[in-house]
Amino acid sequence: MSEWMRDSYASDYYTTTEAGCADCANLTAGSTRVIRSGDWSTTAYALRAAIRDGQDSSGLHTSFGWRCARNGP
């Protein structure tokens, strides 16, 4: 299952962001969010977590999911 990210999607984000940032999250407002990895219908190459794309987060997607995470103990 592809995973939704908190980041807003911008295709050129990593080329326009300062080098060496500690937390490179793109928290600007927008409905297009980053998804990472692939799902059952993608190629093996797309299963890598480094693969990212943008999708409209206002619709339904049967191949996208998310996981809860927290920072701290």
* Cα angle 14-3-27, degrees, rounded to a multiple of 5: 45
- CB environment 15-37: b (16+ within 10 A), e (fewer): eeeeeeeeeeebeeeeebbbbbb
**For the chain (length 73 residues), average pLDDT per consecutive 10?**
80 70 73 81 81 79 71 67
Note whether 51 and 44 are within 8 A (CB): no
| H/E stretch holding 34 | strand 32-36
Please report the pLDDT score of residue 4 as a whole number: 78
| End-to-end Cα distance, the chain | 27
